[in-house]
Chains A and B, each alone.
Chain A
Amino acid sequence: MTKVIVVGNGMVGYKFCEKLRSRSADIKIVVYGEEPRPAYDRVHLSSYFSGSTADDLLMAPLSWYDDNNIELHVGELVTEIDREKKEIKTHTGRRDNYDYLVLATGSSAFVPNVDGVERNGVFVYRTIEDLNQIASYAKKVKRGAVMGGGLLGLEAAKALLDLGLETHVVEFASRLMPRQIDDVGSEILSGKLAQLGIKVHTGKNTKRIAGNGKLEGLTFTDDTQLDIEILVISAGIRPRDELAKAANLEVHPRGGIVVNSFLETSDQSIFAIGEAASYNNMIYGLVAPGYDMADSVARQIAGDFSKQFTGFDMSTKLKLIGVDVASFGDPFGDNQQCIPIAFKDHRKGTYKRINISEDGKYLLGGILIGDASQYNLLHQMVMNRMPLPENPETLIIGNGSRSADSMDGVKGLPDSAQLCSCENVSKGEVIKQVRECEAKTLGDIKKATKACTGCGGCTPLVNDVIKLTLESMGHKVKKTICEHFDYSRQELFDIIKVKGVKTYEELLDAHGRGDGCEVCKPAVASLMASIWNEPILEQDTIQDTNDRFLANIQRGGTYSVVPRIAGGEITPSKLMAIGRIAQKYNLYTKITGGQRIDMFGARVEQLPDIWEELVAEGFESGHAYGKALRTIKSCVGSTWCRYGVQDSVSFAIFIEDRYKGLRAPHKLKGAVSGCIRECAEAQSKDFGVIATEKGWNLYVCGNGGARPQHAKLLVSDIDTETCIKYIDRFLMFYIKTADPLTRTATWLNKMEGGLEYLYDVVVNDSLGIGQELEEDMKKLIANYHCEWKKVVDDPALRSKFKHFVNSDEPDPTLEFVDMRGQRSPIDWNKK
């Protein structure tokens, strides 16, 4: 049996194991990693400071190595290679033989030789151990700097910012990310970073790291100073080639194990991949080329010599501290004659530059800062030498309808275009899967090709290709909700309503097939709730767990409880009631974003008891667990506020009581502000009302979340009655026509005709359905009931709330830890 030893268990070493194992089940794979834990995601290291744990960052859990029959030794450094005997030796004295040796030793941080570099408070940014040291030192200090304004340096700056430090970035070159972006790009990026609280100092050469024992500041060669207490050095990388060097393998004078296009070192049984390898005088310090090398070597060892490594496009797109930065092809246009076209917007903090060939025919490269949404397409245009449109500037400033544009662009891509650079999947491969292997969904493609499973950045592009291919095959790409129903949500809405279908089973028997699934069950449950508003627990097993147990499931499997506090108004005695109940059941309490109180850590069997007490105190379900109306946030308005022009609290409570319990394709949030100052943030809600001297302004289709979008003004200066009428129509129209799990903002974005059309339907009643919508809403409101009161009063329903069917014990695996005087679930990765 062939035996491969891999030295180094970083991202590339891990990827090599994955690729080799997928090609051959019988090759023996043994891995030695110097770090105490298996391979983790170094690219997203800074997320360690914003909530991720070391285990979240793992490329794969330890069990993966077992499951794949890979022998992994962590915390064991390989110190010697005996090439004659084909044997390695580790620091523990262990000897091991190989047929092939793969050096994936990675790199270490480059530390420049500056006076004072040995002081306390100076760190590098490379491993989780480095991060732990930085975090513990940062507790004692307030001001920090990162030396190095490259990609990794800015990641490190994000880490310092997350640790709560005043953060500076010091860069020797005249601009940030000198290898990727130009001076103007750097200026825009610096501006964005300044807004986030990071001060950038470019053109600074550090002369001395000053201090007395511990670090006190930096002195630069221009004799200026920067007072700081912690310094993180991220000034570049040094390939880890010492093991190779000691074994007399050829290494590059500037570092790196020299390899040929087969990634072979000067010994044919030894390969080098990733940042440790030097190909064609170049070190590839990104993960994508590392994966490409891993793939090539895995193929060769498995007997496929068709794929050589011949360099790698270093185009990159990333989110740095929340700011899009992308650089592709020839970003500076200094390799060929070219004409740059640039667009910069200081106000929004965006910069877009493309370099086109002198004859105006081709795109050569470019830079995007602040908004890199066109990256995939532009990058593909460069890689595939696609002809430019007549007015190339439209590529970066757009000409109105963007979605249509991007589809045209996707059509124009040649089959060789690489869609997923992490897993090297081409457009042709995706098309082949769809045409010949019956792949129909993104899920099918992920399974078949692994596309979109790395960074996920190519997902929209892959989706477009699937859709276009299906369409070209004559499939009507119909939005059916899943394999069990050939209908869209809107069609199911009509079927249920017109035929009077009351149960899921009835619907599946008459209009579907198979046994249903986790997609159609809750979608139908939501539809039936939106149409009939009957108690949802009559069909408890088609509900998502939150709806089934009328509470929000949280880490560990306990639930959180949110009573309704309409408009955020609550009496002192009700506040005390919540306090008493939370204390009695030892629940963690927190104020929510919607002006209510969330109580966490309730075991499933405790929920009815907790609610019995809440109901007795006059509380009702807050529907925080449902795709339903959540809260109407309010500011205090004209009753107390000296600026208020209307009574926003009373109106908010009125609206919340009117629509409470209303189920919809997704959650719904509203707000009412008492004046133009907008303290209730109504313009970030699905529907928001802002008081004016003459009445109310109604805004619709805003949301926070991953892609925040401001609500749009639908009508101004309307009276209360009209305002309610329009909200009734708006909500009912949304409930009827939106796809499952689509918020109002996305619904509007996809609506043909957009806001104007919505205005016509809601205000001008262009479809003639205004009255019908209002009446449907009236029926729903008349059918309101508190779901929790029903459970509390019904012993049969109550008995469903238990963990074991054959014991009254609670789940014995629940574990909690103390956090700031309250309890929290144990981190789920520590289990």
Chain B
Amino acid sequence: MEIAKDIRTYTPTLTEDVKVWFRAARVTDFPENGGACLRYKEHQIAVFNFARRNEWFACQNLCPHKMQMVLSRGMIGSLDGEPKVACPFHKKTFSLKTGECLNAEECSIAVFPVRIEDGYVHIGFAQ
């Protein structure tokens, strides 16, 4: 149980705190304007190729509402310009910039910096 709990714990990371830039997958592995899930150590990270804004975002794959590993399968979009992802289960939406829940009183999610280099997507982690 302890291990399982650990998998569901994420530490949000700011760009200045990044110690590891994890080379995750090729840019072309991600659908345009959609997401995919990647594995880093025991963690699951949702990565979104927001082609419409020419931006990339990464956040925890776990939706804090019902603790489901599913955010990478959510639809992305914007609320007054703020980029967001909607959980496919109950449509809780979270800012992809700050991780804040935008339409309910759920906990925030952890977000991670993304860097594109040599056609590869890199995600920044503090550890």
Contact = CB atoms under 8 A, between A and B. Distances in A.
A515 B49 CA distance: 13
Contacts of B74: 518, 545
Interface stretch (A158-166, A370-378, A548-556): A548-556
B34 A806 contact: no
Contacts of A568: none
Contacts of A63: 107
B4 A515 contact: no
B17 interface: no
Interface in B72-92: 73-81, 83-84, 86, 88-89, 91
Contact of A515 (B37, B44, B53, B91): B53
Contacts of A831: 4, 8, 67
A796 B8 CA distance: 31
A542 B52 CA distance: 13
Interface string A789-825: 0000000000010011111010111000000000000
29 contacts: A63-B107, A505-B52, A514-B77, A514-B81, A515-B52, A517-B77, A517-B78, A517-B84, A517-B93, A518-B74, A518-B75, A518-B77, A521-B75, A540-B31, A540-B34, A541-B33, A542-B33, A545-B73, A545-B74, A549-B73, A556-B68, A557-B69, A804-B38, A805-B24, A805-B37, A805-B47, A812-B7, A828-B68, A831-B67
Size range of the interface on A? 35 or more
B78 A515 contact: yes
8 A-B pairs with least C-beta separation = A541-B34, A517-B77, A518-B86, A545-B88, A515-B78, A805-B36, A831-B67, A518-B75
Contacts of B39: 804, 806-807, 809
Contacts of A517: 75, 77-79, 84, 86, 93
A544 to B, nearest CB: 7
B50 interface: yes
A483 interface: yes
Contacts of A516: 52, 77-78
B125 to A, nearest CB: 14
A67 interface: yes
Interface string B19-62: 00000110001111111111100001001001011000000000
Contacts of B103: 443
Contacts of B35: 541
B38 A515 contact: no
A553 B78 contact: no
A522 interface: yes
Nearest to B78: A515
Interface in A531-548: 540-542, 544-546, 548
A600 B37 CA distance: 22
Nearest to A805: B36
A830 to B, nearest CB: 9
Max chain A CB contacts within 10 Å: which of B35, B47, B80, B88? B88
A805 B29 contact: yes
A548 B33 CA distance: 13
Given A443-B103, A553-B88, A521 B25 contact: no
A549 B88 CA distance: 12
A544 B88 contact: yes
Nearest to A542: B75
B68 A541 contact: no
A805 B78 contact: no
Nearest to A504: B33
Interface string A479-520: 000011000000000000000000001000000001111101
Contact of A544 (B24, B53, B75, B79): B75
Given A541-B31, A803-B37, A813-B7, A522 B75 contact: yes
Contact of A553 (B29, B76, B89): B89
A806 B25 contact: yes
A568 to B, nearest CB: 30
A514 B79 CA distance: 8
B70 to A, nearest CB: 5
A544 B65 CA distance: 18
Contacts of B83: 515
B78 A514 contact: yes
B75 A541 contact: yes
Contact of A557 (B53, B70, B75, B80): B70
Given A443-B103, A484-B77, A518-B77, 10 more contacts: A514-B78, A514-B81, A541-B33, A541-B75, A548-B73, A555-B66, A804-B36, A804-B44, A805-B24, A806-B39
A808 B89 CA distance: 24
Given A522-B75, A805-B24, A828 B107 contact: no
A805 B47 CA distance: 10
Contacts of B50: 515
Contacts of A803: 37
Contacts of A521: 75, 77
Nearest to B22: A806
Interface in A266-303: none
Contacts of B7: 812-813
Given A505-B52, A831-B67, A806 B38 contact: yes
A483 B37 contact: no
Interface in A304-356: none
Contact of B91 (A518, A555, A556, A813): A518
A518 B87 CA distance: 9
Contacts of B91: 518
B84 to A, nearest CB: 7
A813 B9 CA distance: 13
B91 to A, nearest CB: 6
Given A522-B75, A831-B8, A806 B24 contact: yes
B7 to A, nearest CB: 6
Given A515-B52, A515-B83, A518-B93, A541 B32 contact: yes
Contacts of B52: 505, 515-516
A803 B35 CA distance: 11
A809 B42 CA distance: 12
B1 to A, nearest CB: 10
A516 B33 CA distance: 10
Nearest to A807: B39
Contacts of A829: 66-67
B40 to A, nearest CB: 9
Contacts of B75: 517-518, 521-522, 541-542, 544
Nearest to B29: A805
A552 to B, nearest CB: 11
Contacts of A546: 88
A800 B36 CA distance: 9
Contacts of A809: 39
B88 to A, nearest CB: 4
B77 A515 contact: yes
Nearest to B50: A515
A796 to B, nearest CB: 12
A65 to B, nearest CB: 12
Interface in A719-751: none
Contacts of B32: 541
B119 to A, nearest CB: 14
A483 B8 CA distance: 33
B47 to A, nearest CB: 7
A514 B53 CA distance: 9
A483 B103 CA distance: 15
B31 A811 contact: no
B63 to A, nearest CB: 10
A544 B24 CA distance: 25
Contacts of A484: 77-78
Nearest to A800: B31
Contacts of B38: 804-807
A520 B86 CA distance: 12
B77 A813 contact: no
Interface string A41-71: 0000000000000000000000100010000
A127 to B, nearest CB: 25
Contacts of B29: 805-806
Nearest to A521: B75
Contacts of B84: 517
